[in-house]
Structure 1
Amino acid sequence: MVVVSFSMGNTINECKTDIYFGNGVWNELDDAEENRKKLEDDIIVPKIIKNDPILLAKYGKVKLAYNWGQGTLLDVLETYYQLRESGQLDDIGFYTAIAALTVKMPQITLSALVTQKLMEPFTKDWEQGNVDEM
């Protein structure tokens, strides 16, 4: 008879809730981490938890959910896809969204508009793959 014993070195405390900071479009990893730290130091700890033992027991860590870039045009199309899927934007609002996202990059606005319809099936599949990988 063989007896096998397993020990979990890292246990998950299901009673605690972790808080995640999600970066915006075109944030570098270092900037995103700095913003995560600011969220924790400037808002979560002093304004929400406030050394309250009940809240300290309830909340875990403030973590970073980093959304990496795939190049400017794909990032713009991904943002459009996310806004459309969440019901925040329809096809009529696409130009406005592209203009807002590319205000400092007018050279890609027309390119994004031209490729939007061509890329939509790819963008949808690519976005789901991106979510699955994250």
Structure 2
Amino acid sequence: MDNNPVTETLPDSSNAEDNEPNVEMPSHTDESLPAILSSAPATPKADNKTPKITVVLCPVGGAPIMRQRKWEVDCTQTIGFIASFIRKKLTLQKSDSLFFYVNQSFAPSLDQSVQNLFDCFGSDGKLILAYCRTQAWG
């Protein structure tokens, strides 16, 4: 088990936000506007600091072990993004199989968002994903 408290951030898939200037919102607002804004999800352009979710990647079976197990992932990313990231880190080919399991129980689809999985199955402020090269559960 890795007791390294240092976490790294996965690279962001878009660089369009980095080149845009910061825009300040006007200070006067309508009374009903805060109620609408609080229920609407934050968009990446309105908020440069999108929330990050701690994802713990655990190898299962004969899967190669990654040195860094804890990663900070942008909440808007998908499991497919994490899969492509792991393939690059472990130098896997596209033809190599790679399976993911949430809390060692079920396999999420690749288009599932990290935020949704964290909201439903996160514990202790982390989302635990097991990865393996062969089917392990279910």
- The question of a shared fold, defined as TM-score above 0.5 by the shorter chain, is answered with no
Comparing both chains, which one has the higher relative contact order based on Cα–Cα distances under 8 Å and sequence gaps of 6 or more? 2
Larger strand share, 1 or 2: 2
Give TM-score scaled by structure 1 length: 0.27
User: Between Structure 1 and Structure 2, whose CA radius of gyration is higher?
Assistant: 1
